[in-house]
Amino acid sequence: MKPGQKPPPRKQTRPWHWATAAFFGLLLAQLLFSSQSGQTIPYNEFLQHLRDGRVAEVVLTDTSIQGKYTAPDAAGRSTFVTARIDPAFAAELDRYHVRFSASPGSGWLGALLSWIAPILLWVGIWWFMMRGSAQQGAGGLLAIGKSRVKLYVESDTGVTFDDVAGVDEAKEELREVVAFLKDPVSYGRLGAHMPKGVLLVGPPGTGKTLLAKAVAGEAGVPFFSISGSEFVEMFVGVGAARVRDLFEQARDHAPCIIFIDELDALGSARGLSMLGGHDEKEQTLDQLLAEMDGFDTRSGVVILAATNRPEILDPALLRAGRFDRHVLVDRPDRTGRAQILRVHLRAAKTAKDVDPDKIAGLTPGFTGADLANLVNEAALHATRRNADAVTMDDFTAGVERIVAGLEQHGRLMNPRERLTVARHEMGHALVALTLPGADPVHKVSIIPHGMGSLGYTMQRPTEDRFILSRGELADRLAVLLGGRAAELVCGGDLSTGAADDLAKATDMARAMVLRYGMSDKIGHVVYDDQTRPYLDRLNEPNIAQTREHSEATAALIDSEVRLILQVAFDKAKGILEQRRAVLEAGADLLVDRETLEEADLDRLVKHTEPEGIPAAVAAA
């Protein structure tokens, strides 16, 4: 037993156990007694024995006659029992020579058992069902007001800060929580105290839950884990009761950590429900606010919570004295991704060519969960080909599987469609190879992937970028429109293959006008809706927006978006017209080989074009 840990409660026998045992003991005694009371005979047979003088003595009760024979019968029995019947009625039946008999009855215990036994049976079934559902975590009616927390001790979490990588800033913020939990008296010697609540904010999959478990593992204290949605039920008052029960358990196990995952399911802003103040979720939130105000930080209870939607949380949760410290757990940069990969690669058998830094360069924007999935996909790919170790090619295949989807070798295209897709993908690749603001091309393929992709062009950024200039965004727009431009340059007709490219390009161009003020006619004004999600990214689909400008401004915005897209398309088309020889040769090679690597593209350009042409085209 660890220091400070309470001994398990001694298992005691409940009183109803003794009552049940006594009841069944009485029942058994009655059965044994009745079995020894003699043979049950019909009443008219008793009368015949009485006439023949074979009855020695009798004992009369309200319902039966028990007696002894003067001598044992042929079977060696010396006692008998029969039912007691009205003598007048018995004489009438005997006159007509009717054989009659009756049950002697089971006594008072049998009568009592006849109506108590069904009740006990149904009570037992109900108790067994409720006990089973409670043990399985469903709770049932017996535990409807109990909190459904999962309690871990230090050995159960199995996570420390050594198992968390890529979020160094967040780890440093939480080290203070660990120091306070280990020695709250010394930590507060200067009058400081820990915040009552620490809110972990970040996109899904960045490791917020893992960080909370690591804090508990480092501090060696109990860890209560529960999801925000588990507080709310259809019954009014259940959520508030579970909040009270949670904090009562936490106080009994202090020092400890309470971790509420998906806090937005419980703590969304009040007043938005159609039920008003009687909404069960609002009552649960009110109880949580009251509990956070009611406990002392010196008791050693620290509340951690995680959410990826902080913009919808109730302001009362975020004020000082509640969740007053916010820790950002963002997507890792390239260095952080390499650190995360090294942690996950401990359990994988890798070849010598596997380089976490190179894999990190292939995975911009990946979260910790994405990288864990990538290592698993690479290991599965190596297993399918019966390899002895996971190689770099397996990780490349894993990235393709996650980004582009599963290869669809069964989706057959006719030669004309294959050539169209090859020209389209080579258009993307050539424009990206030409423009300085575009990311380098890593791979081009016309193998169908996923549900609708007929090919893809994979680009590998050389570094993480946090700020993009207008020129760099314009180059990215040209790369997106390079596939559509290649279809026209090669003399073909417009196809539906550019639908996804057009949607992404339109969103990017509209963001340049509405959000970034990159239009000369519109000026440095933001017309985008300001209620976007806090963790929204540039390339994610836009949410519904409320327009707060005039019709004339809306028409000007549409005109500027079209102009930006047309300029980008003309740039891509001009590049491909000047490099048409490489475009045609690359499309033919892609049709033949289906996949071209970065080295293949370099050899293709050097073999087809003289030196100096790509640079001149880019400058133009």
Write the pLDDT tens digit of every residue in 500-541.
Answer: 899 999 999 999 999 888 988 888 888 875 545 555 444 444
Cβ–Cβ under 8 Å, residues 114 and 129: no
* This model's pTM is above 0.75: no
155 and 83 belong to one structural domain = no
467 and 614 belong to one structural domain = yes
210 and 262 belong to one structural domain = yes
- Single out the residue in 374, 403, 432 at which a domain terminates: 403
Cβ–Cβ under 8 Å, residues 322 and 289: yes
In a domain, 24, yes or no: no
Q: Residue 199's domain is classified under what CATH number? A: 3.40.50.300
pLDDT of residue 542: 44
* Number of neighbours of residue 397 by Cβ within 10 angstroms: 19
* Number of neighbours of residue 213 by Cβ within 10 angstroms: 23
Cβ–Cβ under 8 Å, residues 439 and 461: yes
The total number of structural domains in the chain stands at 5
- Amino acid in position 405: G
**Residue 564 banded pLDDT, cuts 50, 70, 90:** very high
Residues 73-111: tens digit of each pLDDT = 777 778 877 777 766 656 655 665 555 555 555 555 555
- Single out the residue in 274, 298, 328 at which a domain terminates: 328
Tokens of 31: 């059965």
pLDDT of residue 376: 92
Phi, psi (degrees; rounded to nearest 5) at 590 = -70, -35
pLDDT of residue 131: 61
pLDDT of residue 544: 44
Catalytic residue IDs? 425
358 and 421 belong to one structural domain = no
571 and 428 belong to one structural domain = yes
User: Can you give the residue range of the structural domain that contains 66?
Assistant: 35-105
- Over the chain, what is the mean pLDDT? 76
How far apart CA 613 and CA 537 sit, in angstroms, is 36
- Whether the bond into 255 is cis, omega within 30 of 0: yes
Region 601-606 average pLDDT: 86
**Residue 290 banded pLDDT, cuts 50, 70, 90:** confident
Q: Residue 525's domain is classified under what CATH number? A: 1.20.58.760
Q: Bigger pLDDT: 282 or 137?
A: 282
pLDDT of residue 562: 94
